Amino acid sequence: MSRDGQKIDRRKFLKGAAVGAAAVSSTAISNAQDQESADHQHAPSDIALRVKALETVLTEKNLVDPSVLDEVVDRYENRIGPQNGAKVVAKAWVDSDYKARLLDDGTAAIGELDLLGTEGEHMVVVENTAEVHNLVVCTLCSCYPWPTLGLPPTWYKSSAFRARAVIEPRAVLREFGLEVSDETEIRVWDSTAEMRYLVLPRRPEGAEDMNESELADVVTRDSMIGVAIL
């Protein structure tokens, strides 16, 4: 611990972080929101330079191949995202056999669609019903099923969501505009091990005539985390 503490001081990081926090505070509405602003990616200005420096030095030492980094960025910006999870959900809505397999063994059923991968090797799918509403969180870090949902939004990684989802899920859902009745059971899934969770939302009313691909278009990221219904 102390060894790392000294390293931090040596890199003058604290100075940079303090500058960033002060800049954020001037635009924050209240003290309570200062932390949320920090969660919101307002970085100290020198972070971009530091990232560039590390990448450049590692590249010059042949420890990093920038084209590999380009590929990673492209993958998550353009190819992996909630549209993948939406395919899983839409298929489950139109194919009851697939839905049964999906709820029984999420990993195998999502594997059928070739949508497993880093941070989504072991998948569990939990179904919303008239009686049960599911909500996914990771209180310890920000674990999230990357292959099916992409990288998590900032609010999912925020201190407020990580802290509150397990102690007051109904208040959290209310902030997302979702009022869950007292009779409905809420299940909060805290992703503490290697399983990653995907919520199977209820099929919206009025979507009876839609085909699988049209259905996939109505499935939202938030509905697969459990902070929205369709």
Burial 95-134 (b: 16+ CB within 10 A, else e): eeebbebbeeebbebbeeeebbeebbeebbbbebeeeebb
Chain positions 82 to 121 lying near another protein, rule: CB under 8 A, are: 118, 121
Active site residue 30: no
Closest CB 25 distance from another protein, rounded Å? 11
Chain positions 119 to 148 lying near another protein, rule: CB under 8 A, are: 121-122, 124, 139-142
Closest CB 127 distance from another protein, rounded Å? 14
Scanning 88-96, 150-158, 204-212 for contacts with another protein by CB under 8 A, the matching segment is 150-158
Active site residue 142: yes
Q: Does 190 bind another protein (CB under 8 A)?
A: yes
Burial 158-190 (b: 16+ CB within 10 A, else e): beebbebbeeebeebbeeeebeeeeeeeeebbb
Active site residue 141: yes
Dist CA 137 CA 165 (whole Å): 7
Environment class of 61 (CB within 10 Å of its CB; exposed 0-12, middle 13-18, buried 19+): exposed
**142 in a known ligand binding site:** yes
Closest CB 201 distance from another protein, rounded Å? 18
Which residue in the list 143, 158, 191, 223 is annotated as catalytic? Answer: 143
Dist CA 92 CA 218 (whole Å): 14
Active site residue 67: no
H/E run at residue 136 = strand 132-137
Chain positions 45 to 74 lying near another protein, rule: CB under 8 A, are: 47-58, 60-61, 63-65, 68-73
Chain positions 1 to 30 lying near another protein, rule: CB under 8 A, are: 1, 4-5, 7-8, 10-11, 13-14, 17-18, 20-21, 30
Dist CA 128 CA 40 (whole Å): 30
Residue 72 or 207: which CB sits closer to another protein? Answer: 72
Which of the residues are catalytic? 138, 141-143
